[in-house]
Copies of this chain bind each other. A is one copy, B any other.
Amino acid sequence: MAALACASAAAGQDLTCPSPDGKIVLNFDMLKGGVPSYSVDFNGKQIIAPSRLGLTLDSESARNDFTQAGEKTAANALQLTEGFELTGSESSGFDETWKPVWGEESEIRNNYNELAVTLTQPAFDRHIVVRFRVYNDGVGFRYEFPAQSHLNYFTIKEENTEFAMNGDHKAWWIPGDYDTQEYNYTRSKLSEIRAKMPEAAAQSANNASATVAGPTAVQTALQLKTDDGVYINLHEAACIEYPTMHLSLNDSTMTFTSWLTPDAQGKKGYMQTPQNSPWRTIMITDDARKTLASRLILNLNEPTKYTDTSWIKPVKYMGVWWEMISGKGSWNYTDDVYSVKLGETDYSKTKPNGRHSANNENVKRYIDFAADNGFDQLLIEGWNEGWEDWFGQSKDYVFDFVTPYPDFDIEELNRYAHEKGIRLMMHHETSGSTRNYERHLEDAFNLMNKYGYNSVKTGYVGPILPRGNHHYDQWTNNHYQHVVEQAAKHKIMVNAHEASRPTGLCRTYPNLIGNESARGSEYWAMGGNQRGHTSILPFTRLQGGPMDYTPGLFEMDLSTFTNNNSVINSTIPGQLALYVTMYSPLQMAADLPEHYARHMDAFQFIKDVPVEWETSRYLEAEPMEYITIARKDKNSDSWFVGSTAGDNARTSVVSLDFLDPGRKYTATIYADDTKAVAKADKAGKPYGANKPYVISTKAVNSKTTLRLPVLPGGGYAITIRPQ
């Protein structure tokens, strides 16, 4: 338990709060005019320059009585940004260890010093609290709006939280967008964001639901690096009953300001006291590996609300999915029907198109392969009526989530799967039609319970209905949360694609076992990903929760099996690495069984890699360049190592000093065959999309250092077993 370390200056209104190890210091200052602000020092130097705090209320808030106490004009009454007095402060410390239901480790330490300042606007007889928590790896703060008669219901016009950078830092960013997160990252200086935004935003041209936010607005989590080598990461935690935050850069002052997602009317948030904003988080480390090791976001979230979590279990799965994404098969059953009316369209009278992937025979083939290879579940997309016209029509009653196609025998297939020891995984594509999904939710979950499904992948592809709302606004965030809570009543786990990027709510609601909410593996079939994509995602997208990235693609040349000419700029070892570097309690082996069948030696790693971890070590890391992580199996003494690269070939150097001293292990290494590639290049006969790999075994121990070469976009994976 840390001592009460936060101190107030004898005079004036400057307050400080240090991290437990003292290296980070949060400074709270009241600026002239009663403007609250903060700054942060790291290792004795300012790292976050003075940044203002507050919110601007919408004029419709005036319907409430809170202006009555005021003598000033109504315009000022809408400002929760100035005219404050510091009327109270409390300091405390906290140091506990908690156990997540699933995660990168079995225990997490939550250790911080806290400073809560009460700010009162005497002119309006109202007050707010700003609560700061200072950790060894960063700062979190939130606004609290206590119950009070002169601040009751109010509407937010904009939140005005600043994050003032003290230099033209390097940034890895994606454009602010109210409806899609599926961008490749741009790496640039802050000063270049404006000029590079049009090109970055143009990536969304094919995304049916893009709504770019502003000329210098970017999404969080935002990874930054100063010229001094300090890594700053900005995000939020516990975003519940609130819109998702973007950051808008003033590129004269290098100050970011919060920019919330608007609703259909352009309003930002509807609040009722007592209520808190999400935590705004500033992770500060001197080492990129510490950024990956940080649990700041989870620690700021509330402990789990569920009394029984025994039904929540990580899942390794395959899917009748990649064949449709790649174009080999289809979600839809027939090509006869261009306009479906559920309950009226009689599928038994239509002609099957012969390419519908989710048919009984094909599904059984996948079940056989998945069961024979130790997988837990099989996802099947395209099992239900409605796929003929599901996309791009702003359709309200688009799916009913309960009626299978004629060639999908839901009862028999579940029986068959259970007999073989696996479950099927449900799929609820909502097409953004949230009211429709909620109307069918109970029936859909009851169907799942009836047939023994315990997990569902949900999707929100396309613009949100009710029309005018956005994927990340308060209204829709409320919907995603509603689904998670309803699912828990049915002991169902949820993996929500296209929902808002997570903010650590999975601590409180651990049946939220995943989101996509970023550009995933599927984009290899639709425009491609950058080689360094999976070496930035753990810094950014994964800050708030795991990503269902769907790795494990073995056939890199799609033209060999579909009409799609896309090429996957990755390697098999690079794909294997992702099972370690892209933490997820849901791990998919995304490719087709026949592609794995050709490489059962490499596939062995996917079969072996666990989904539950005891502890993790971050060995090498640089945003968008490389990541190397080692994790210990929760259920054995084995360790697993993964390393991904970026645009550049490299040699990874890792010490295995995390192994038990004095113990002997055998390492099985799945690596890029850089020698074979070099040789072929020299001979003028370079390899095509499919690069060679080499599997070797080696005796190792805690004194071993490995040096492994890696191709651009490649990587390696290692299984380390005690002898």
Interface residues of A, Cβ cutoff 8 Å to B: 60, 63-64, 147, 149, 152-153, 155, 263-265, 267, 270, 272-273, 338-339, 341, 389, 392-396, 435, 438-439, 442, 466-469, 475, 478, 482
Asked if B339 and A153 make an inter-chain contact with CB atoms under 8 angstroms apart, the answer reads: yes
Asked if A272 and B341 make an inter-chain contact with CB atoms under 8 angstroms apart, the answer reads: yes
Q: A396 CA to B242 CA in the complex, in Å?
A: 13
Q: Tell me the smallest distance from the CB of A75 to a CB of chain B, in Å.
A: 21
Q: A438 CA to B436 CA in the complex, in Å?
A: 11
Q: Which residues of B contact A394 (CB under 8 A)?
A: 60, 153, 155, 270
Q: Which residues of B contact A152 (CB under 8 A)?
A: 338-339, 389, 393
- Among residues of B, the one whose C-beta sits closest to the C-beta of A152 is B339
Contact partner of A435 (CB less than 8 A), chosen from B147, B272, B395, B438, is: B438
Contact partner of A153 (CB less than 8 A), chosen from B272, B393, B466, B475, is: B393
Give the number of times this chain occurs in the complex, counting copies: 2
Q: Tell me the smallest distance from the CB of A304 to a CB of chain B, in Å.
A: 19
Q: Which residues of B contact A435 (CB under 8 A)?
A: 435, 438
Among A339, A395, A478, which residue has the most Cβ atoms of chain B within 10 A?
Answer: A339
Given the known A-B contacts A149-B338, A339-B152, A341-B272, are A475 and B482 also in contact in the complex, defined by CB atoms under 8 Å?
Answer: no
Q: Which residues of B contact A339 (CB under 8 A)?
A: 147, 152-153, 272-273
Q: A435 CA to B263 CA in the complex, in Å?
A: 15
Q: Which residues of B contact A63 (CB under 8 A)?
A: 392-393
Asked if B469 and A439 make an inter-chain contact with CB atoms under 8 angstroms apart, the answer reads: no
Q: Tell me the smallest distance from the CB of A50 to a CB of chain B, in Å.
A: 34
- Among residues of B, the one whose C-beta sits closest to the C-beta of A270 is B394
Q: Tell me the smallest distance from the CB of A470 to a CB of chain B, in Å.
A: 12
Among A435, A466, A469, which residue has the most Cβ atoms of chain B within 10 A?
Answer: A466
Given the known A-B contacts A153-B393, A270-B394, A395-B153, are A467 and B264 also in contact in the complex, defined by CB atoms under 8 Å?
Answer: yes
Q: Which residues of B contact A467 (CB under 8 A)?
A: 263-265, 267, 270, 475
Q: Which residues of B contact A267 (CB under 8 A)?
A: 467
Q: Tell me the smallest distance from the CB of A236 to a CB of chain B, in Å.
A: 21
Q: Tell me the smallest distance from the CB of A205 to a CB of chain B, in Å.
A: 14
Among A263, A338, A438, A478, which residue has the most Cβ atoms of chain B within 10 A?
Answer: A338
Q: A339 CA to B273 CA in the complex, in Å?
A: 8
Q: Which residues of B contact A468 (CB under 8 A)?
A: 263-265, 466, 468
Q: A470 CA to B42 CA in the complex, in Å?
A: 52
Contact partner of A466 (CB less than 8 A), chosen from B60, B395, B466, is: B466
Q: Which residues of B contact A439 (CB under 8 A)?
A: 438, 482
Q: A263-B467, A396-B478 are in contact. List 5 more A-B contacts (CB 8 A).
A: A63-B393, A153-B389, A265-B467, A270-B467, A273-B339
Q: Tell me the smallest distance from the CB of A342 to a CB of chain B, in Å.
A: 11
Q: A442 CA to B442 CA in the complex, in Å?
A: 10
Q: A500 CA to B155 CA in the complex, in Å?
A: 28
Among A64, A265, A392, A395, which residue has the most Cβ atoms of chain B within 10 A?
Answer: A265
- Among residues of B, the one whose C-beta sits closest to the C-beta of A151 is B339
Contact partner of A438 (CB less than 8 A), chosen from B153, B392, B438, is: B438
Q: Tell me the smallest distance from the CB of A676 to a CB of chain B, in Å.
A: 49
Q: Which residues of B contact A475 (CB under 8 A)?
A: 466-467
Q: Which residues of B contact A395 (CB under 8 A)?
A: 153, 272
- Among residues of B, the one whose C-beta sits closest to the C-beta of A475 is B466
Q: Which residues of B contact A273 (CB under 8 A)?
A: 339
Q: Which residues of B contact A265 (CB under 8 A)?
A: 264, 467-468
Q: A128 CA to B339 CA in the complex, in Å?
A: 17
- Among residues of B, the one whose C-beta sits closest to the C-beta of A478 is B396
Q: Tell me the smallest distance from the CB of A424 to a CB of chain B, in Å.
A: 26
Asked if A270 and B396 make an inter-chain contact with CB atoms under 8 angstroms apart, the answer reads: yes
Q: Tell me the smallest distance from the CB of A63 to a CB of chain B, in Å.
A: 6
**A/B interface sample: 25 pairs, CB < 8 A:** A60-B394, A63-B392, A63-B393, A149-B338, A152-B339, A153-B389, A153-B393, A153-B395, A155-B394, A264-B264, A264-B467, A264-B469, A270-B394, A272-B339, A272-B341, A272-B393, A272-B395, A273-B339, A396-B478, A435-B438, A466-B466, A466-B468, A466-B469, A467-B475, A468-B468
Q: Which residues of B contact A469 (CB under 8 A)?
A: 264, 466
Q: A389 CA to B272 CA in the complex, in Å?
A: 11
- Among residues of B, the one whose C-beta sits closest to the C-beta of A337 is B147
Nearest first, the 9 A-B pairs at minimum CB distance are: A264-B468, A264-B264, A466-B466, A153-B393, A265-B468, A152-B339, A468-B468, A265-B467, A270-B394
- Among residues of B, the one whose C-beta sits closest to the C-beta of A340 is B272
Q: A265 CA to B149 CA in the complex, in Å?
A: 35
Q: Which residues of B contact A466 (CB under 8 A)?
A: 264, 466, 468-469, 475
Q: Tell me the smallest distance from the CB of A240 to a CB of chain B, in Å.
A: 13
Q: A394 CA to B490 CA in the complex, in Å?
A: 31
Q: A273 CA to B393 CA in the complex, in Å?
A: 12
Q: A439 CA to B485 CA in the complex, in Å?
A: 12
Q: Tell me the smallest distance from the CB of A484 to a CB of chain B, in Å.
A: 14
- Among residues of B, the one whose C-beta sits closest to the C-beta of A466 is B466
Q: Tell me the smallest distance from the CB of A447 to a CB of chain B, in Å.
A: 16
Q: A253 CA to B161 CA in the complex, in Å?
A: 56
Q: Tell me the smallest distance from the CB of A388 to a CB of chain B, in Å.
A: 11
Q: Tell me the smallest distance from the CB of A468 to a CB of chain B, in Å.
A: 4
Among A149, A153, A395, which residue has the most Cβ atoms of chain B within 10 A?
Answer: A153
Q: Tell me the smallest distance from the CB of A701 to a CB of chain B, in Å.
A: 56
Q: Tell me the smallest distance from the CB of A67 to a CB of chain B, in Å.
A: 15
